[in-house]
Amino acid sequence: MEQLNQFIMHHWQLCAAFLGILLIIYINEWFTQKRSAVALSPQMAVEKINHEDAVIIDIRDQEAFSTGHIINAVRASAKDFEQPRMSKYKDKPIILVCPRGQQTPALANKLKSQGFSKAMVLTGGIAAWQTAGLPLVKGNK
């Protein structure tokens, strides 16, 4: 312990720089976490749907949507959120769904900056939903 104290005394600038870098990393991580969308497991998504009336927004193409989607899901593309008809979802909890959960985090962050304060993503996408054994409906509605 005495050697550590001596090192700190002789190299205080180096120690101060190290602590400064750690502080910058911590602040950056904190801001990143704050800005990023909440990621939900399929089970957590079911809880949000059942208890908070979360709206499922499926961003897959029409063909993939027709082959199977979550009950009462709304099919929309990223461009659809620029239209006034989507503003009705700004104050509602929305869960974005894509094929594997790789496209929705970026969209959710973009939507949060546009005022969709409760945008969340389904981790693993529709594939995780199916793996969890949860139901899908087929067709356009």
Same domain? 90 vs 45: yes
CA distances from 60 to 69, 72, 134 (A): 9, 15, 18
Question: 10-residue block means of pLDDT along the chain (141 residues)?
Answer: 90 94 91 77 96 95 94 92 88 94 89 88 95 90 59
| Residues 29 and 45 reside in one and the same domain | no
Torsional class of 120: left (φ above 0), alpha (ψ -120 to 50), beta (otherwise): beta
- Rounded Cα distance between 28 and 16, Å, is 18
Report if residue 45 sits inside a domain.
Answer: yes
C-alpha–C-alpha distance, residues 67 and 69, integer Å: 7
- pTM (global) more than 0.85: no
Which CATH number do you get for residue 95? 3.40.250.10
Domain co-membership, 59 together with 83: yes
Do 20 and 71 have their domain in common? no
Q: What amino acid is encoded at 90 in this protein? A: K
Domain boundaries, position 122: 37-131
Total domains, the chain: 2
pLDDT value, residue 35 = 66
What is the Cα–Cα distance from 99 to 22, expressed in whole angstroms? 37
Residue 137 counted as domain residue: no
Query: Are 114 and 62 in a shared domain?
Result: yes
pLDDT tens digits along 109-121: 888 888 888 999 9
